[in-house]
Amino acid sequence: MTTLSKYFSKLFLILGFVCAVSFETASAQPGGRLVILRAANFGWKIALHVKIDGRSIANVVQGRTFDHILAPGHHVVTVSVVPNAYFVDPSSVGLDARPGQLYSFMAIWAGSNRVVLQPTALTPQQLAQARR
């Protein structure tokens, strides 16, 4: 092997290592975590319908919690009820997701025809206990 080919072999090896480390670092930084709990008096024959940026993501039934990773950036979270027999108005909240941040909300009734997301100050440990 010539000196030039040894040089390029080492260069490509180093570049490959640097790329692998940078991909690993990027994947280790997920977006923010969105958690939505249902209030105790939310109801048992209805589900909380969750949309993120206009896309339907989940229906959260009694006894369940919504837990989702958000890509970094601005998002609009919209909630409504299903079935919507009483024409309950949806409500939305905007948030700017940052890597490693926790965004927790409680879905509650505001009057008799509107569901809203109320921010909570729960820690990850408290959320884990609330889900039991």
| pLDDT tens for each residue of the chain, 132 residues long | 577 566 556 545 564 554 444 444 444 558 899 999 999 888 888 999 999 999 999 999 998 999 999 999 999 999 999 988 777 789 999 999 999 999 999 999 988 778 999 999 877 777 777 655
Q: Quick check: 83 and 69 in contact, CB under 8 A? A: no
Q: Quick check: 118 and 48 in contact, CB under 8 A? A: no
Q: For residues 30-40, b (16+ Cβ closer than 10 Å) or e, as one string?
A: ebbbbbbbbee
Cβ neighbours, 10 Å, residue 76? 12
pTM of the model: 0.73
Q: Is 2.60.40 the CATH classification of the domain at 31-130?
A: yes
- Residue 104: closest CA among 37, 31, 58: 37
